[in-house]
């Protein structure tokens, strides 16, 4: 490999100092669970709705309104088709957090007379967990199911947790940190048998793995645009209309848009983009998921064949094709990110979070805090290439090796010291 090739001129500080023989554009974006870049075909679909077709989809009396409404209804159909639903079952929102709030609070309030018990899991997104915590303050009872070492919910735990006061089970389809896919179909079946509404936060899964609301007995599902190469600020909620019909109390009252479940003038360009993103996903998912898994496996193999004491977090088998979450023992995550600063990824290290706590998802798996601090999440997406994967693997390996030389823990482990038995003079912070 040539080491003297000077390449692209990246904007941020001190990027581009590393050998880059393949003409890769730096920095590389590999954080596709945080957000995805928009597909140019999506942008193209959206553009007319900012200027020439600017109408309000609720304007029934003129062509401006009709054009907007047409775009909205096409989007509804495209989203519905991707998840096996009907267009009338799709409600537009501002994004995943609103969808999760509307689903959980809306069901909780609507079914309050039937019961006050909600079941979720400890590895859910904060949009679900914090909504549940809010409901606890209002007198609801919430069971937070633990997960197994591989990140999966134990179905027997769920079966035992459901009681005659249970009105809602909310379990995500795919985890945003470790990419683990929950047994949604089995959970859906169980909920249907017990007469409990089943909501799934499917934002990471939709467009990446097949989701079918009927085959999986999903009653309510959260969707967002920007995780599947669509725009930010737009999302949707699937709400089952029959067998059984699910009803929600709205969070936002007003003009009665979206069958009264979500008032507010529709974000037509965003909605058009979300629909197009779903249509593209529908068409390309089979090939794309193979490509993602191939790139992901290439990255994993390249790293793990050259480094020891690297641990995969969460189930390898039940996982999003583009997700790789690994811990590099003896190396702290933020320092690793600093060393690979021409690559955009995330870490479960406390130092990278606002709370100074390491990832609660990894802790729930029983990963020690030390390994949680050492974790990196790679989120491979539609636009990543093999050359980028190889570059990322090389940079990660060289940085981990360098930081291990700097690590007293690595030195102690090599000397045969059992790090678990050391009495650390910890400075609590």
Partner 1 sequence: MSYSDKVIDHYNNPRNVGSMDKKDADVGTGLVGAPECGDVMKLQIKVNPQTNIIEDAKFKTFGCGSAIASSSLATEWVKGKTIDQALEIKNTEIVKELALPPVKIHCSVLAEDAIRAAIGDWKKKQQTAKPAEMHAAQ
Q: How far is the CB of 330 from partner 1 (least distance, A)?
A: 6
Q: How far is the CB of 329 from partner 1 (least distance, A)?
A: 10
Binding site for partner 1 (CB under 8 A): 13-14, 330-332, 334-335, 338-339, 349-352, 356, 358, 368-370, 373, 405-411, 419, 424-429
Please say which residue, 138 or 356, places its beta carbon nearer to partner 1. 356
Neighbour order of strands in the sheet with 166-170: 90-93, 235-239, 220-224, 197-201, 166-170, 117-121, 141-145
**How many residues are given for the chain?**
429
Within 241-375, residue ranges assigned H as helices are 268-304, 333-339, 360-364, 369-373
Beta strands in 110-263 (DSSP E): 117-121, 141-145, 166-170, 197-201, 220-224, 235-239
Beta bridge partners of 224: 235
Q: How far is the CB of 31 from partner 1 (least distance, A)?
A: 15
Q: How far is the CB of 235 from partner 1 (least distance, A)?
A: 29
Helix/strand/coil for 120: strand
What residues have CB less than 8 Å from 175, skipping those under 6 apart?
123, 151, 182, 204, 314, 361
Please say which residue, 142 or 400, places its beta carbon nearer to partner 1. 400
Please say which residue, 15 or 249, places its beta carbon nearer to partner 1. 15
Residue 36 near residue 381 (C-beta atoms within 8 A): yes
Residue 174 near residue 181 (C-beta atoms within 8 A): yes
Please say which residue, 301 or 369, places its beta carbon nearer to partner 1. 369
Q: Which of 105, 108, 109 is closest to 93 using CA atoms?
A: 105
Phi, psi at 362, each rounded to 5°: -65, -40
Q: Which of 213, 197, 217 is closest to 205 using CA atoms?
A: 213
Q: Which residue is associated with the tokens 């482990």?
A: 413
Helix/strand/coil for 349: coil
Q: How far is the CB of 335 from partner 1 (least distance, A)?
A: 5
Q: Which of 273, 272, 274, 253 is closest to 264 using CA atoms?
A: 253
Please say which residue, 111 or 410, places its beta carbon nearer to partner 1. 410
- Give the tokens for residue 365: 């798996």
Q: How far apart are CA 159 and CA 175, in angstroms?
A: 21
- Give the tokens for residue 293: 């898994």
Q: How far is the CB of 361 from partner 1 (least distance, A)?
A: 16
Please say which residue, 161 or 344, places its beta carbon nearer to partner 1. 344
Give me the active site residues, please: 351
Please say which residue, 20 or 349, places its beta carbon nearer to partner 1. 349
Please say which residue, 205 or 376, places its beta carbon nearer to partner 1. 376
Residue 366 near residue 281 (C-beta atoms within 8 A): no
Please say which residue, 217 or 375, places its beta carbon nearer to partner 1. 375
> DSSP letter string over 365-382?
TT--HHHHHTEEEEE--T
How many Cα atoms are found within 13 Å in the side-chain-facing hemisphere of 158?
A: 28
Q: How far is the CB of 310 from partner 1 (least distance, A)?
A: 16
Q: How far apart are CA 200 and CA 172, in angstroms?
A: 5
Q: How far is the CB of 108 from partner 1 (least distance, A)?
A: 36
Q: How far is the CB of 357 from partner 1 (least distance, A)?
A: 10
**Cβ–Cβ contacts within 10 Å for residue 37, how many?**
13
């Amino acid at each position: 490999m040539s080491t003297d090739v000077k390449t692209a001129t990246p904007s941020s500080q001190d990027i581009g100092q590393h050998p880059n023989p393949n003409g890769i554009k730096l920095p590389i974006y590999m954080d596709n669970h945080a957000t995805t870049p928009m597909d140019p075909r999506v942008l193209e679909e959206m553009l007319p709705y900012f200027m020439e077709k600017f109408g309000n989809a609720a304007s029934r009396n003129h062509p401006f309104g009709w054009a907007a409404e047409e775009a909205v209804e096409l989007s509804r159909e495209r989203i519905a088709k991707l998840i096996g639903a009907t267009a009338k079952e799709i409600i537009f929102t501002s994004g995943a957090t609103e969808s999760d709030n509307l689903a959980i609070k809306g069901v909780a309030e609507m079914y309050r007379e039937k019961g006050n018990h909600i079941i979720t899991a400890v590895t859910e997104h904060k949009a679900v967990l914090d909504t549940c915590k809010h409901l606890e303050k209002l007198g609801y009872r919430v069971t937070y199911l633990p997960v197994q070492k591989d990140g999966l919910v134990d179905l027997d735990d769920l079966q035992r947790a459901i009681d005659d006061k249970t009105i809602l089970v909310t379990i995500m389809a795919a985890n945003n940190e470790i990419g683990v896919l929950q047994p949604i179909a089995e959970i859906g079946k169980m909920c249907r048998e017990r007469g409990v509404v089943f909501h799934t936060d499917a934002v990471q899964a939709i467009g990446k793995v097949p989701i079918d609301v009927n085959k999986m007995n999903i009653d309510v599902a959260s969707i967002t645009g920007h995780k599947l190469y669509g725009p930010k600020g737009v999302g949707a909620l699937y709400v089952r209309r029959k067998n059984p019909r699910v009803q929600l109390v709205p969070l936002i009252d007003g003009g009665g848009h979206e069958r009264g479940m979500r008032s507010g003038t529709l974000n037509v360009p965003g909605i058009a983009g979300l629909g197009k993103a779903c249509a593209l996903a529908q068409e390309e998912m089979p090939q794309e998921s193979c490509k993602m898994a191939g790139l992901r496996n290439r990255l994993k193999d390249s790293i793990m064949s050259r480094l020891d004491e690297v641990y995969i977090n969460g189930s390898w088998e039940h996982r999003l094709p583009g997700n790789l979450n690994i811990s590099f023992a003896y190396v702290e995550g933020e320092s690793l990110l600093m060393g690979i600063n021409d690559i955009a990824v995330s870490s479960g290290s406390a130092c990278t979070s606002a709370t100074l706590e390491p990832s609660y998802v990894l802790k729930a798996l029983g990963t020690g805090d030390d390994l949680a601090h050492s974790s990196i999440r790679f989120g491979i997406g539609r636009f990543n290439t093999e050359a980028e994967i190889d570059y990322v693997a090389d940079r990660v390996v060289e940085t981990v090796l360098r930081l291990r030389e700097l690590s007293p823990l690595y030195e102690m482990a090599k000397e045969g010291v059992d790090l678990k038995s050391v009495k650390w003079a910890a400075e609590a912070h």
